[in-house]
Amino acid sequence: MTDPLFATRNSFYLGAYQSAISEASNLTGLSEAEKIERDVFVYRSYIELGTYELVMSEISTSSPMSLQAVKALALYMKEQKEAALEAVAGWLADPTATSNPTVLLVAGLLFALEENYVEALKACHGGGSMEMMALCVQVYLKMDRLDQAEKQVAAMSAVDDDATLTQLAAAWVGLHQGGAKVQEAFYIFQELGDKFTWTVRLHNGLAACQMRMGRWEDAESELLQAFEKNPKDADTLANLVATSLHLSKSASRYLSQLRLVAPAHAIVKRIEEGEAAFDRAASSVAA
């Protein structure tokens, strides 16, 4: 039996958000459950594209629970974090809501963004969907629990070894494992890009592998392709800062752009801490 939502879902996972929206608009003959799932991926795609207001205005209190969860994600991204987290807390206390996989996934995503990794794992561990399993992999990697991330990828492989999310999760883990596994991750990103479409996410994945292998010029070339597709992507800008510094090139323009689009990014914070430490040292010498 064919899955009518495969193309939409797959485009979303690869980071081809506009394609996901276009593919969803062409779907016909869907069941009610499929229509809701379609709308979930459409609205999540708009969130990834930064169109939060559209999501917030179109989803109402009478909308299905899954869509209300997506609206909470839009609220969070629109800096209405307290309202989003309050909504999630209310749903997690409601047995009806916790049987909804989209509610659990959004809860996991928001807890992960809050760096509350234990709660993120609690929300997603029992969910069973491939996307929840993939989120668990990302959370384990953030916690430096490579062993648990590897187990989660093995569990995903047992469900569907060829699934895009399984492949992506295996590549993320390979990047952290290092050595020959980085080359395997490189091939995964390459294969996904050649098979489906080259997205900013895949260019960054490939560039991350090249950086791990010390191929800084190749990484920069890959990142410039991502930059052409979206000059405001925070991961691309952060990686361009790293490659520029390694290649002894000026990183100031990319850093300035990164400060504008993602002022709380880890690289921005690290550089600002370094600048503050330098200023303190300089003033103590001057004194």
Please say whether the beta carbons of 14 and 197 come within 8 A.
Answer: yes
3-state secondary structure 223-286: HHHHHHHCCCCHHHHHHHHHHHHHCCCCCHHHHHHHHHHCCCCHHHHHHHHHHHHHHHHHHHHH
**Higher pLDDT pick, 282 / 252:** 252
pLDDT digits (tens, 9 = 90+) for 238-267: 999 999 999 999 999 999 999 999 888 888
Q: Which stretches of 114-230 are DSSP H helices?
A: 117-125, 130-142, 146-160, 164-177, 180-195, 200-212, 216-229
Over residues 63-73, mean pLDDT: 96
**Is pLDDT above 70 for 286?**
no
**Is pLDDT above 90 for 207?**
yes
pLDDT digits (tens, 9 = 90+) for 132-161: 999 999 999 999 999 999 999 999 999 999
pTM: 0.92
